[in-house]
Amino acid sequence: MEITCTRCHQAIEDDSTYCPTCGLPQLMYQADTGAGADQPERRAEPVRDAASIAWKPAMGVAAKLAVPAGIVLAIFFLYSIVNESSFLGLLFLMAAAAAWVVALYSRNQKPASITVGAGARIGLVTGIMSAWTATAACGLLLYGARYWFNAGKFIDDFWTAAVKGPMLAQWNSTGYDPQAIAQVEALFLSPEGRAGSGLSAVLFLAAWLLLFSVAGGALGARFLARPRRPEV
């Protein structure tokens, strides 16, 4: 009787526990048919698809890492803005967190295997949680700095210097009409412009966090989520 893979339906040798085509493990069990009948037979029930995800445990693992990572990312993102430094390292931290989530999920749930696509989806969920947490934390930190610690003047002076300094110089270098540049400058210095610019910066960070978390989840599934041999 020919044995075929439950996923790709390619032929598999009798003594093989993994599909040579797609790599899906094929569980074996001992058939107790009497004395002397010890030959292993293939389990009839379907095994977990490597592309499927048990979302409840996956969400639990993601939340344990995504929420702290989001808070840390928010703090260092604001720090990088004030010190005019790069926040590229924060993106790699997000990718590492997503890869770690995939590795922990794979280890705790012991799936037969996990595909790169499944890892990317877990990474996306991790990134959404981290991006939401980072956005909320940035808003809370800015609100607290302005109204609780009386740092509103520092924030306003910092933004005014940024608009009248490098941003105005960049606008003037484009050769636009001076009157139009003055209107844009006034818009950026208005309360609405300050709030919109801050929100845009946080959304920009969130978009990059999602991108790097998806990449980190995919890499985690490729290199960290080691497939386990099925139990006999």
pLDDT digits (tens, 9 = 90+) for 15-63: 777 777 776 776 655 555 554 445 555 444 445 566 778 889 899 999 9
How far is the C-alpha of 77 from the C-alpha of 208, rounded, in Å? 12
Angle at 197 between CA 192 and CA 203, to 5 degrees: 125
- Indicate yes or no: pTM above 0.85: no
- Computed on alpha carbons and rounded to an integer, the radius of gyration of the chain in Å comes to 27
How far is the C-alpha of 165 from the C-alpha of 181, rounded, in Å? 13
Domain ranges, ordered by start, for the chain: 1-47, 55-223
How large is the average pLDDT for residues 189-205? Answer: 90
How far is the C-alpha of 4 from the C-alpha of 16, rounded, in Å? 11
- Could you give the percent of the chain with pLDDT greater than 90? 45
Q: What pLDDT, on the 0 to 100 scale, is given for residue 9?
A: 73
Averaged confidence pLDDT in the chain: 82
Q: What pLDDT, on the 0 to 100 scale, is given for residue 13?
A: 75
How far is the C-alpha of 68 from the C-alpha of 151, rounded, in Å? 25
